[in-house]
A and B are shown apart, each in its own frame.
Chain A
C-alpha cells in the first residue's frame, strides 16, 4: 500500500500529551481503501475508494472524542476499521499498547472484549429472532463469561442500568420502540465491561424527544463505568454537547481537531467554518445575526479525490486568496496552531478573525440575555437520568 502522502501526517500528531497519561487508543495514519475492480473472470484492480486516507488521533481514558463530518467522509469507516470490522489497508491502531492491525484470530477476539460498538439503526442492528436476553447476553456467551444463570442475572442488571424493565428479558425487539431498542443496543455494548465504546450515529434514527434520553444515558454510563467514547455523528450540535474534543473529517481525512468549545468559537479550517455555519440554531434571535456560508457543489468522489487539499474544490477561502497553487499541489498536514488545536490548512491563519469565522457564531455578538441563559438545572423527578453523580471536572463546551 502506498504510504507516500501519509508519512507526513503521522509525525505531526498529538500536540502535547500529558506525561504519564498514555492514550487508551492511538490511531496513526490509518488508511482504509476499498478496491474497485473491473472484469468478470479476471478481476483487474482499476482503482480505490479512499474512504479513510491517513487519519491519526488519540483518545485518552475517560475522554469522548467526537468524529464529525458529512456522509461519505469516512467517519463510520474509521470506526469500523479501528474495531477491525474491516482490515485496514495501512497505518496502526494502538489500543492500550497493542497494535490491533497486527492481531488475528484468538488474540484479536480477546481484545475485542474491551471495545464495543453501538450502531445507528436500532431496527437493523438487533436480530429480530432473538430475545432481548439473548441479544444482550450474546457477547457474554461469545467470550465465555459466567455460567448460564450468572449471565441471565447480568443481563437483567444491564437492562436495569439502561433504564429498561429487567422483566422484559424474554421479549423480542419488535415489541420495543426505537428509543428502547437503542437502549438494548447500549446494554449489549456494555455487557462485557468494555473500555472503549464506538458509537456510530447512536441517536440519528430516533425522534427528537427521545434523542435526549439516549444522550443523557450515554453520559451517565460514562461516569458510572469510566467509559471512553468515540462518538461518530453528523450532527455538530449533538457532537459538541457530548464530546470533550472533536475531529472534523472531510473526504477521508481529519481537517481539524480541537476542544469542542473552541471548535465552535474559533474554527480555523475553512470547511469547519462552513459546516458550523450551516447548522441551524433553534433560536430566531441568534439566527438573525448569523451568516451562512453556502458551499457550492457536492463532496467529490473518494474514488478520485482532488489533489492537494481535498477541500480546495469547494473552499471559500481559496477563492478569496486568489486560488493559490499550493492548495492544489501540496497536501496540507495536520499542524498545531495553538495548544490542542490542530488544523490541516495551508492558510488557516487567514481564517482566524475573518468575517466568516466571526459571523457563523453570534451568541457572542448578541446580548447574552437574548439567548436562553444557562440555567443550572437541579436534578428532579422530571429528569431522573440527569441525577448524575458530581459533574466531571472537564473542559466540555
Chain B
C-alpha cells in the first residue's frame, strides 16, 4: 500500500542541507482582559527536510501557538506575531499574501489537530471533505479527486475505504477519525506535517496505531514532521531531535538520544524525574516539580523557570539565559543542527540529572530563597502553603 499521491504537486528536488523551515526569534502575544499574554518569547529553530522533530512542553508553554503562528492560524484579532521571521522552503511566510498562504496550507504544510471530532465538519461526509481539499488546490475533476481521496484513505489504513467515503465523522471511532484527519493532511503530499498532540485524545493501543502510522507515512512520503506533545514517551521512540519548551521559550534542544541520556536543563530533568516509568515502577521515587508555571502576562525578569528551580543561582533571578552549549557561553548561532543546547546558567550534571536534584552543595541560599518566592507567588495566586 505504498502509493502516495504526488500528482501535479511540485516535487522539486530538495537542496541537500538547506533547512525546510527556519524560525527566527518568533514572538507571539495575545491580548486578554488581564493584559498581554506573552505566549511565545523569542523562539528560533530549524527543521531539515524529512526530519522528525519533537516539541515537548506542558499546556501553556507555547508549543501549539508556535505551530499556529507558522501556519498563520492564530486566533484573530487577539493573537498576533509581534516579531521574528518564519522561512519555509525559501519563502517568508509572515510576508505572504492571504491567498498565497491559503494555497500553501494543506498543499505544502499540513496540520493534524488533537481532537479529530471538532476538527472535522460534522455535517459533511468525509469523502466530500477530502475531495474539497483536492479541488481547492488542483484542477482535478471530481472522479480524479475522489480517486485521490480513496488512495489516501487506503494509505492511512482505513478499512473499507470506498464505502467509508460516504460516512459522516460521527460514524467513526476516535482512532478512525484521527486516520481520516491524517489522510486529509497528507492528501496533497505536504513537505511538512505538523502534528499537534495527535494522540492525546486516544487510548493507548490506538495511540500506538496512530504513532506507527505517522512514522510510516513520514517515511513513505518523505514529509518532515513536527510532533508536538506533552508526553516524553511519545517523542522518545518517534523523533530524531527534541526541543523542550517552557513559558514560550525553547529551554533545551538536542538529538533525542542525547536529550534523554544527558538532560542539562533543570526543567527537562524535572519532567523526566516526575513521571512514573512503566519499566521501573515504584522503586524509583517521583520527584515533583514544585510550584506552578508562570503567569504569562507577568513573566519574571530572569529565567522563567527560576522560581521553581532547585538549581537556581543569583544570576537566574535577574538575567534570562539564552540557548548556549551547556556550561559555556558559546552562542547557538552557526552550530550544526542537533548540537546540544540549553538555556541555563547552572545546568545539571549527569549525576544530578539522575538524582533529579542538585548535588547538596548546590542548594544555595539563593535557590532556597527562590523556592520561598515561588511558594509566596503560589500563595498569592491562591494556593499552596
Binding site for B on A (CB under 8 A): 70-71, 160, 163-166, 168, 171, 175-177, 179-180, 207-213, 215-216, 234-238, 240-242, 260-261, 264, 274-288, 290, 292-299, 361-363, 371-375, 377, 380-386, 396-397
Contact = CB atoms under 8 A, between A and B. Distances in A.
Contacts of B285: 377, 383, 386
User: Which of A179, A260, A362 gathers the greatest number of chain B CB atoms within 10 Å?
Assistant: A179
B278 interface: yes
Given A281-B236, A285-B257, A377 B176 contact: no
28 contacts: A175-B381, A177-B381, A180-B384, A207-B230, A209-B274, A209-B293, A210-B292, A212-B288, A216-B288, A240-B276, A241-B276, A264-B279, A275-B204, A280-B233, A280-B234, A280-B237, A281-B279, A282-B233, A282-B277, A283-B236, A292-B212, A293-B208, A295-B208, A297-B159, A377-B356, A382-B356, A383-B287, A397-B283
B307 interface: no
Interface in B254-293: 256-257, 260-261, 270-272, 274-290, 292-293
User: Which of A211, A295, A383 gathers the greatest number of chain B CB atoms within 10 Å?
Assistant: A383
Interface in B234-266: 234, 236-237, 256-257, 260-261
B37 interface: no
Given A284-B236, A382-B310, A208 B58 contact: yes
B171 interface: no
B382 A284 contact: no
Contacts of B310: 381-382
B16 to A, nearest CB: 26
B371 A396 contact: no
A380 B233 CA distance: 27
B307 to A, nearest CB: 13
B382 to A, nearest CB: 4
User: Which of B212, B363, B384 gathers the greatest number of chain A CB atoms within 10 Å?
Assistant: B384
Contacts of B281: 240-241, 260-261, 264, 396-397
Interface of B: 58-59, 159, 173, 175-176, 203-209, 211-212, 230-234, 236-237, 256-257, 260-261, 270-272, 274-290, 292-293, 310, 354-358, 363, 368, 371, 379, 381-385
Contacts of B173: 298
Contact of B278 (A171, A236, A274): A236
B277 to A, nearest CB: 6
Contacts of A377: 285, 287, 355-357
Contacts of B256: 284
B298 to A, nearest CB: 16
